[in-house]
Amino acid sequence: MPSASTYPGDLHHKKCDVPGKNCHRQNSAVDHDQRTRSINAPIPAPSFGPKACLKKVPPSQMMHVTDPSSQKLIWNESPLTVLVIKKMMDESILEPFKTMTRYLLEEKNLVVYVEAKVLDEGELHDDKEFDKYRLKMKTFTEGNQLMNKIDFIVCLGGDGTLLYASSLFQEGTVPPVIAFHLGSFGFLTTFAFEEFQEAINILLQGNTPVTLRSRLKCLIFKDHDIPSDLDRENVIAIKPKKLPDPPNLEFKYECLNEVVIDRGPSPYLSNLDLFLDDKHITTVQGDGLIISTPTGSTAYAAAAGASMIHPNVPAILITPICPHTLSFRPIVVPAGVELKITVSPDARHTAWVSLDGKHRQEIHKGWCLRITNSVFPVASVCSVDQVVDWFDSLRACMHWNEREQQKSFQPRERLRKGPSNNNLKKLSQNGESSVQNRT
Cα distances (Å, whole numbers) of residue 321 to 220, 267, 337: 21, 15, 21
Cα distances (Å, whole numbers) of residue 140 to 112, 116, 157, 198, 240: 11, 6, 19, 28, 21
Phi-psi domain of 277 (left: phi exceeds 0; alpha: psi -120 through 50; beta: other): left
Contact 362, 350 (CB under 8 A): yes
Whether 262 is catalytic:
no
Pairing of strands 358-363, 315-323: unpaired
**Which one from 10, 67, 159, 392 is the annotated catalytic residue?**
159
Residues 6 or more apart from 189 whose CB is under 8 A from it?
155, 157, 158, 159, 161, 162, 179, 180, 181, 182, 183
Of 418, 378, 400, 389, residue with least CA distance to 293 = 378
First to last CA, the chain: 92
**Could you count the other beta carbons within 10 Å of the beta carbon of residue 172?**
19
Residues designated as active site: 159
